[in-house]
Amino acid sequence: MFPNVKFLTSAAEARQLTPDVGREIAFAGRSNAGKSTAINAITGRSGLARVSRTPGRTQLINFFEVGAGERLVDLPGYGYAKVPDKVRARWTALLERYFEERTSLVGLVLIVDGRRGLKEQDVIMLEWALRRGRRVHVLLTKADKLTRSEADRVLRDTRGACGDSGVTVQLFSAHAKQGVEEARGLIAEWLALDHGMN
Ligand SMILES: Nc1nc2c(ncn2[C@@H]2O[C@H](COP(=O)(O)OP(=O)(O)O)[C@@H](O)[C@H]2O)c(=O)[nH]1
Ligand SMILES: [Mg+2]
């Protein structure tokens, strides 16, 4: 739990990012994958990141402080078909630059709908993070919607797709409170690491 979590600021462009000091962990995923719900469950604050019924609306990078110099970052969802090409291109550039330049970024929590599995854009995010030495952990969400064998299969397939990259994968359900402690523990561990980038 992160009982002292508080909203810091939103950024629509690179110059609005919070100062690049301390440590932060980014959350990314396709629109509707369950990112806001996962952030709320992990922090233990139900209203923190809004759970949207209209995917693709949140086009901002939202920063939350969980401790002194420690942040969780809610990146805009991707994969939403109705976003105009120009908007999409601008966001791709901002996110790529964020992953390229952000020295306080220790790791990426990639939110993937367990019913869909890893998609091309998820792999792109994962590769942007890995390229600059960040840790990556995948949450396969909505596990409560999967049968045991479906859950086993998506876990195995996702781990297989990640190969020996060091990426870790777990099943997660905010609704069934499955895997929440595991995700929290990992985040606390990443925030405590001396990653030597700044
Ligand atoms: N069954 C189930 N539904 C979930 C879970 N997490 C999120 N959802 C639903 O998935 C939809 C999208 O969730 P949201 O957190 O807004 O996704 P985001 O667009 O990635 O931020 C909402 O209707 C949520 O209620 C879960 O663990 N189980
Ligand atoms: Mg959201």
pLDDT at 57: 55
pLDDT at 2: 87
- Do 73 and 108 form a contact (C-beta atoms < 8 A)? no
- Do 44 and 2 form a contact (C-beta atoms < 8 A)? yes
43 bridge partner residues = none
Residue 93 placed within a domain: yes
d(CA 75, CA 63): 9
pLDDT in tens, 44-55: 988 887 765 555
Which amino acid does the sequence have at 188?
A
Which amino acid does the sequence have at 35?
K
pLDDT at 60: 84
| CATH label of the domain that carries residue 34 | 3.40.50.300
Residue 150 placed within a domain: yes
pLDDT at 49: 78
Residue 32 placed within a domain: yes
Residue 127: half-sphere exposure toward Cβ, Cα within 13 Å: 8
Q: Is 62 in the pocket of ligand 1 (CB under 6 A)?
A: no
111 bridge partner residues = 29, 139
Residue 167 placed within a domain: yes
The residue whose CB lies within 8 Å of the most ligand 1 atoms, and thus the one to mutate among 30, 35, 37, is 37
pLDDT at 87: 81
Residue 1 placed within a domain: no
Q: Is 7 helix (H, G, I), strand (E, B) or coil?
A: strand
pLDDT at 101: 93
- Do 71 and 30 form a contact (C-beta atoms < 8 A)? no
Atom of ligand 1 nearest to the CA of 33: 20
- Do 112 and 122 form a contact (C-beta atoms < 8 A)? yes
d(CA 174, CA 35): 10
Spacing, Cα 105 to ligand 2 middle (Å): 20
Task: Count structural domains, the chain.
Answer: 1
Q: What is the pLDDT along the chain (198 residues), one digit of tens a residue?
A: 888 899 999 998 888 999 999 999 999 999 899 999 999 999 998 888 776 555 555 578 999 999 999 999 999 888 877 778 888 888 888 888 899 999 999 999 999 999 999 999 999 999 999 999 999 999 999 999 999 999 999 999 999 999 999 999 999 999 999 999 999 999 999 999 765 444
Distances (CA, A) of 23 to 70, 116, 156, 158, 188: 5, 31, 31, 27, 11
Which tokens sit at 147? 């049968």
d(CA 135, CA 110): 10
pLDDT in tens, 178-188: 999 999 999 99
Residue 31 placed within a domain: yes
Strands (E), 13-74: 23-29, 61-67, 70-74
Which residues keep their CB under 5 angstroms from ion ligand 2? Answer: 35-36, 52
Residue 198 placed within a domain: no
Q: From the centroid of its chain, how far is CA 11?
A: 16
User: pTM score, two decimals?
Assistant: 0.94
Q: Which domain holds residue 34?
A: 6-192
Strands 61-67 and 23-29, how do they pair? unpaired
Residue 87 placed within a domain: yes
